C-alpha cells in the first residue's frame, strides 16, 4: 500500500468514525481480532491508533489468525476482589463463554466487609479463598499459591472477557522463554467524561501489534529506567506457574490496598531482569469498566502515581539498577517541574487536568516506600 493510498484509507476510517459518533470510541476489527481504534470528542478525532494499518499489517494479522493453535497446557484463572459483588458477578458471567475453558477459576476475596462476595463466588461454582490481609498483590500471591494450572491468568473484577480471551492469552506461550503474557484491554463503556479522559490519557491499551520484550531489550536501556508499565495491564495478564517458584511472588508492598499500583509492572520488570521474555498479545481481548466519576478518577490517578514511585524504589532495591532511583529522584521531579511551569505560563492542557494529584501521589509513594523500609 503506497503512502498516498494509505493516507486515504486512514482518512476514510476517521471520516467513518466522525460520521457515526459525536462522542466515544470506534474499534476496528479483522474478524475477531481488533486492529485499531479512533476516539471522537465533540465530533472530531481526539486520538487514533490506525496509522499502522496497511497491507503488510493486515497480512500479518491474517497469518496470525490462520496459524493459531489450541493451547496444550492447563490454565487457572484468578480474580482478586474486594467489596464489589455486582462487578464480580458480571466478570464471572463471561468465563463460561470461553472457547478454551479454564481448568479452575479462583476468586480471592481480599478482606471484603460482608459475605456477598463469597455468595457470588459460590453461586458461580468457583473456588473461593478468603485473604484477610488487604492488598492486591497479597491476594494475587494467595491465588498463585493455590493455582494448579501450568499457566496462571489474572483478571480484575471490573472486567468483561472476550470469548477468546483465555485461548489467545494461553496460546501466546508458544516459546519456552516467554514467562508472561499480557492482553489488550479496551474500555467496556465510554459514557462519562471521566471514562473518556481516562481512555485518552491513561488507558490500558498498548496498541494492536504483538510484541516481545526480552532480556536484551531490557539491558539496552542502560542509564534509563525500563518502562515495564508499557508491557500491558494487570487486568489481563498470565504467567507460567513455575516462575513464581524461580523468581518469587508479587511484592506485597505494591498495588491496591498498599502503595496503590504497579505490582504488575514491577513483576514484569523482575522477570526481564532475570532473563525472561514478556509478550504483549493484543489478540487476547478484555473490556474494562473505567471509573465513571471525576472524583473516582482523581483518586485513581493519585494512587497510580503513588504506586509508580514506590515501584521504582522497589525495582532498585531488588535489582540494584540505579536508573530506577535516578528516575524517582531526578527525572520525574524535573518532568513535573516542567509541567508545572508550563501550566503556570500557558493555558492548562487536558493531560494536566490531574497534575496536582499526580505530584501528590508521587511524593506519597516515595514516603510510603521509605516508611515501609524503616518498618522492617
pLDDT, one tens digit per residue, over 61-82 is: 999 888 888 898 999 999 999 9
Give yes or no for a contact between 291 and 245, defined as CB atoms under 8 angstroms apart: no
Q: Has residue 119 got a pLDDT over 80?
A: yes
Pair (87, 178) in one structural domain: yes
Give Cα 329 distance to the centre of its chain.
25
pLDDT, one tens digit per residue, over 225-235 is: 999 999 999 99
How many residues comprise the chain?
376
Give yes or no for a contact between 272 and 226, defined as CB atoms under 8 angstroms apart: yes
DSSP string covering 254-316:
SSTTTT-S-HHHHHHHHHHHTT-EEEEEEEEEEEE----SHHHHHHHHHHHHHHHHHHHHHHH
pLDDT at res. 347: 76
pLDDT at res. 7: 54
Q: What's 97's domain CATH number?
A: 3.90.550.10
pLDDT at res. 374: 63
Pair (268, 281) in one structural domain: yes
What is the C-alpha to C-alpha distance for residues 253 and 136, in angstroms, rounded to an integer? 9
Pair (93, 36) in one structural domain: no
pLDDT at res. 65: 85
Mean pLDDT of the chain: 94
pLDDT, one tens digit per residue, over 153-179 is: 999 999 999 999 999 999 999 999 999
| Average pLDDT of span 94-103 | 96
Domain boundary among the residues 66, 90, 120 is at 66
DSSP, res 133: S
What percentage of the chain has pLDDT greater than the value 70? 96
pLDDT at res. 1: 47
Pair (30, 133) in one structural domain: no
Question: Hey, which residues does 182 pair with through a beta bridge?
Answer: 237, 280
Q: What contacts 72, CB < 8 A, 6 or more positions away?
A: none
| Average pLDDT of span 298-312 | 98
Pair (223, 127) in one structural domain: yes
**Residue keyed to cell 503556570:** 344
Q: What contacts 295, CB < 8 A, 6 or more positions away?
A: none
The three-class DSSP label of residue 233 is strand
What is the C-alpha to C-alpha distance for residues 312 and 262, in angstroms, rounded to an integer? 9
Domain boundary among the residues 293, 323, 356 is at 293
Q: Name which residue leads in pLDDT, 24 or 315.
A: 315
Distances (CA, A) of 356 to 59, 261, 291, 292: 45, 18, 19, 20
The three-class DSSP label of residue 110 is strand
pLDDT, one tens digit per residue, over 185-206 is: 999 999 999 999 999 999 999 9
Strand ranges (E), the chain? 24-30, 33-41, 44-49, 75-81, 104-110, 127-131, 151-156, 159-161, 178-187, 211-213, 236-240, 277-288
Pair (240, 325) in one structural domain: no
pLDDT at res. 19: 81
pLDDT at res. 20: 84
Which cell goes with 48?
487514533
Pair (103, 242) in one structural domain: yes
Pair (346, 302) in one structural domain: yes
pLDDT, one tens digit per residue, over 7-37 is: 545 667 787 778 888 888 999 999 999 999 9
The three-class DSSP label of residue 69 is coil
Pair (136, 161) in one structural domain: yes
What is the C-alpha to C-alpha distance for residues 352 and 10, in angstroms, rounded to an integer? 29
| Helix (H) / strand (E) containing 6 | helix 3-20
What is the C-alpha to C-alpha distance for residues 25 and 288, in angstroms, rounded to an integer? 14
Domain boundary among the residues 262, 293, 324 is at 293
**How open is the CA angle 316-318-322, to the nearest 5 degrees?**
25
Pair (133, 258) in one structural domain: yes
DSSP, res 352: G
* Domain membership of residue 54 as a residue range: 3-66
What percentage of the chain has pLDDT greater than the value 90? 85
Pair (231, 218) in one structural domain: yes
pLDDT at res. 5: 46
What is the C-alpha to C-alpha distance for residues 150 and 153, in angstroms, rounded to an integer? 10
Number of domains in the chain: 3
Pair (262, 353) in one structural domain: no
pLDDT at res. 53: 93
What confidence tier does 107 reach under pLDDT thresholds 50, 70, 90? very high
* pTM strictly above 0.85: yes
What confidence tier does 376 reach under pLDDT thresholds 50, 70, 90? low
What confidence tier does 333 reach under pLDDT thresholds 50, 70, 90? very high
Amino acid at each position: 500500500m503506497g503512502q498516498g493510498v494509505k493516507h486515504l484509507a486512514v482518512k476514510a476510517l476517521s471520516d467513518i468514525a466522525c460520521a457515526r459518533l459525536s462522542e466515544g470510541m470506534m474499534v476496528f476489527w479483522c474478524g475477531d481480532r481488533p486492529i485499531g481504534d479512533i476516539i471522537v470528542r465533540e465530533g472530531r478525532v481526539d486520538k487514533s491508533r490506525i496509522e499502522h494499518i496497511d497491507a503488510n499489517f493486515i497480512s500479518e494479522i491474517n497469518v496470525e489468525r490462520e496459524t493459531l493453535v489450541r493451547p496444550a497446557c492447563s490454565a487457572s484463572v484468578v480474580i482478586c476482589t474486594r467489596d464489589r459483588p455486582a462487578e464480580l458477578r458480571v466478570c464471572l458471567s463471561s468465563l463460561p463463554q470461553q472457547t478454551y475453558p479454564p481448568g479452575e477459576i479462583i476468586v480471592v476475596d481480599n478482606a471484603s466487609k460482608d459475605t456477598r462476595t463469597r455468595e457470588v463466588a459460590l453461586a458461580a461454582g468457583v473456588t473461593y479463598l478468603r485473604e484477610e490481609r488487604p492488598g492486591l498483590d497479597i491476594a494475587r500471591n494467595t491465588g498463585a499459591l493455590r493455582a494448579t494450572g501450568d499457566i496462571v491468568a489474572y483478571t480484575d473484577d471490573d472486567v468483561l472477557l472476550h470469548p477468546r480471551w483465555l485461548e489467545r492469552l494461553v496460546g501466546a506461550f508458544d516459546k519456552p522463554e516467554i514467562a508472561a503474557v499480557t492482553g489488550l484491554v479496551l474500555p467496556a463503556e465510554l459514557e462519562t467524561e471521566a471514562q473518556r479522559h481516562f481512555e485518552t490519557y491513561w488507558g490500558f491499551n498498548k496498541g494492536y501489534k504483538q510484541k516481545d520484550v526480552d532480556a536484551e531489550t531490557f539491558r539496552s536501556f542502560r542509564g534509563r529506567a525500563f518502562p515495564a508499565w508499557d508491557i500491558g495491564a494487570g487486568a489481563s495478564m498470565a504467567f507460567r506457574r513455575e516462575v513464581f517458584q524461580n523468581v518469587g511472588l508479587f511484592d506485597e508492598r505494591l498495588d491496591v490496598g498498599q502503595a496503590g499500583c504497579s505490582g504488575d509492572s514491577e513483576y514484569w520488570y523482575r522477570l526481564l531482569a532475570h532473563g525472561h521474555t514478556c509478550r504483549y498479545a493484543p489478540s487476547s481481548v478484555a473490556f474494562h469498566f473505567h471509573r465513571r466519576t471525576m472524583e473516582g478518577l482523581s483518586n485513581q490517578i493519585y494512587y497510580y502515581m503513588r504506586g509508580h514511585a514506590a515501584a521504582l524504589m522497589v525495582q532498585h532495591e531488588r535489582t540494584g539498577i540505579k536508573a530506577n532511583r535516578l528516575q524517582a529522584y531526578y527525572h520525574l521531579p524535573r518532568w513535573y517541574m516542567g509541567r508545572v511551569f508550563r501550566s503556570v505560563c500557558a493555558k492548562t492542557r487536558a493531560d494536566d487536568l490531574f497534575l496536582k494529584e499526580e505530584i501528590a501521589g508521587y511524593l506519597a509513594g516515595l514516603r510510603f516506600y521509605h516508611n515501609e523500609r524503616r518498618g522492617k
